[in-house]
Amino acid sequence: MLARFEAAGLLVRERAAGAAEVGERFGLAVRVVTLDRVTAHLPAELVVSTLPGRAADAFAEPVAASGAALFDVVYAPWPTALAAAVQRAGGTVVGGFAMLLHQAVRQVALMTGREDVPVAAMRAAGEAELARRA
């Protein structure tokens, strides 16, 4: 998918064992680094954070200053410090709830064979649950 969007390479932190091999199968040059070295590789066009909760707080300002777009998989609590910093800097942020919703919509379509998936109802139910948990 990233290669289709003309991504030249991929930088992943060390916990992603096998990421280099997978990326290379898709035509991407992959570098694996320790988490403490991630900011040394900024700027980037896109940062995808799969770190839980507040684990990415230390990277908020460097990522925001880099001008990178952000995909942050966290959906509660929202926004994360990382997402808020990127938003304040005028960057593009896609949060975890939006990603989860669109993944669920596609899964429902694939499982049912229907393309008229009730996206608005699914969004409302998810937002209500997140509000209940807040």
In order along its 134 residues, the chain shows pLDDT tens digits of 555 556 666 677 666 667 778 778 878 777 888 888 888 888 888 999 999 989 999 999 999 999 999 999 999 999 999 999 999 999 999 999 999 999 999 999 999 999 999 999 999 999 999 999 98
pTM: 0.81
Task: Count other Cβ atoms within 10 Å, centred on residue 131.
Answer: 9
CATH of span 45-134: 3.40.50.720
Q: Pick from 89, 3, 97, 88: which is nearest to 43 by CA?
A: 89
Matching residue, tokens 């919509």 = 105
Tokens of 11: 């930088």
- Domain definitions of the chain by residue range: 1-41, 45-134
Question: Which amino acid is it at 68?
Answer: A
